[in-house]
């Protein structure tokens, strides 16, 4: 079967909702002088003794999608909260709920990513399906109501522009702040062979590919995994994890920037402490406002396996109110 080649979904693009900002401001964000805070474990309501990673925060920061193998196989879960004040107990994350059989099939399903800066109608994720192209492939699911975390329709394989016989993982959808076009970042290659490299494919705002994916060569090194991109909404800052030399031990988070979205990415720099540790620090996710980073780590102080951790920063020149 050729999922993704023949499926055309009539998508009703919702009129702008308050929950999903229609488009980011064109003005670049500035975090040049800010520092990341000491990471905080998201706590035992979200994290389990099994593994959690691949978080994606909805633009309103009220829904947290992530991967977990707490039930044995890798599945996609979502946690909700009523408000975002970290100091207010009423705003604490509620117990995560598994997304259910429409998204989670019998194989591994992981690395969810919500379409950010459009309208929250798309969910990209990695999945192992018998009718895929081989290994994990990238799929997209759509929903009519961007406020319904359980309204996802059956997922569609993105097709041969993105998926191949090897592994495709960790999709990141980003609509350009300048021209409204969209890109899908992901990594291709088997992690166990240190092959993963970062690729990008042009996609429509409905999540269909517009041509073959190409490697983002300035971010990749040979014989190491370069994986799980997160891009700031203004397209000028990008983070990923890598097993390249020069880290603090284990898998580390790296950052690259560019002056404009038309420039190549700068040589990646290790994010250093406190984001990185001698343990695995991986699958970063930047919030819509660029101030919050949620990532996976098996550093001490968690619930076991990889846990989700959070760090924050404030824009340059501004104080915490």
Please return the burial class of 176, using the count of CB atoms within 10 Å of its CB with bins 0-12, 13-18 and 19+. middle
| Residue closer to other proteins (CB basis): 118 or 293 | 293
DSSP 8-state code for residue 91: G
- The reply to whether 108 sits near other proteins by the rule CB under 8 A is yes
Binding residue for other proteins, selected from 20, 39, 47, 54, defined by CB under 8 A: 54
How many residues touch other proteins under the rule CB under 8 A: the total is 52
N-terminal to C-terminal alpha carbon distance within the chain? 55
Of the candidates 288, 304, 276, which has an alpha carbon nearest to the alpha carbon of residue 64? 288
- The reply to whether 301 sits near other proteins by the rule CB under 8 A is no
Residues 59-88: x/- map of binding to other proteins (CB under 8 A)? --------x-x--xxx--------------
- The reply to whether 169 sits near other proteins by the rule CB under 8 A is yes
Please return the burial class of 121, using the count of CB atoms within 10 Å of its CB with bins 0-12, 13-18 and 19+. buried
- The reply to whether 110 sits near other proteins by the rule CB under 8 A is yes
Q: Enumerate the β-bridge partners of residue 198.
A: 187
- The reply to whether 101 sits near other proteins by the rule CB under 8 A is no
Q: DSSP string of 203-217? A: E-TTS-B-S--EE-G
Q: Which residues contact 187 (CB under 8 A, 6 or more apart)?
A: 168, 169, 170, 196, 197, 198, 199, 225, 226, 227, 228, 229, 240
| Residue closer to other proteins (CB basis): 265 or 295 | 295
- The reply to whether 166 sits near other proteins by the rule CB under 8 A is yes
- The reply to whether 114 sits near other proteins by the rule CB under 8 A is no
d(CA 292, CA 34) in angstroms, rounded, equals: 12
| Residue closer to other proteins (CB basis): 69 or 266 | 69
Positions touching other proteins (CB under 8 A) are 49-51, 53-54, 67, 69, 72-74, 107-108, 110-111, 126, 128, 133-136, 165-167, 169-170, 187, 190-196, 223-225, 227-228, 243, 249-251, 278-280, 282-283, 296, 298, 304-306
């Amino acid at each position: 079967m050729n999922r993704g080649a023949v499926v055309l979904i009539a998508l009703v693009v919702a009129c702008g909702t308050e929950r999903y900002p229609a488009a980011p401001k064109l003005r670049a964000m500035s975090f040049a002088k800010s520092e990341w805070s000491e990471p905080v474990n998201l706590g035992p309501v979200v994290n389990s003794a099994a593994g959690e990673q691949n978080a994606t925060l909805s633009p309103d920061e009220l829904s947290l999608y992530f991967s977990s193998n707490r039930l044995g196989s890798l599945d996609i879960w979502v946690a909700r909260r009523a408000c975002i004040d970290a100091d207010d107990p009423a705003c604490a994350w509620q117990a995560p709920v598994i997304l259910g059989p429409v998204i989670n099939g019998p194989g591994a399903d992981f690395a969810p990513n919500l379409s950010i800066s459009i309208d929250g109608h798309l969910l990209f994720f990695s999945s192992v399906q018998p009718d895929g192209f081989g290994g994990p492939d990238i799929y997209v699911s759509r929903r009519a109501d961007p406020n319904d975390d359980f309204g996802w329709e059956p997922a569609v394989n993105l097709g041969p522009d993105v998926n191949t016989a090897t592994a495709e993982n960790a999709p990141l959808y980003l609509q350009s702040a300048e021209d409204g076009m969209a890109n899908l970042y992901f990594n291709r290659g088997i992690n166990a062979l240190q092959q993963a490299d970062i690729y990008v494919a042009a996609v429509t705002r409905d999540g269909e590919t517009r041509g073959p994916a190409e490697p983002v060569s300035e971010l990749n090194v040979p014989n190491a995994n370069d994986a799980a991109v997160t891009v700031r909404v203004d397209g000028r800052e990008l983070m990923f994890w890598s097993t390249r030399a020069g880290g603090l031990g284990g898998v580390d988070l790296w950052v690259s920037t560019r002056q404009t979205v038309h420039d190549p990415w700068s040589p990646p720099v290790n994010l250093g402490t406190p984001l990185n540790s001698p343990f695995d620090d991986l699958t970063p996710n930047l919030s819509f406002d660029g101030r919050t980073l949620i990532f996976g780590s098996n550093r001490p102080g968690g619930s076991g396996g990889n846990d989700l951790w959070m760090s924050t920063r404030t824009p340059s020149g501004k104080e915490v109110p």
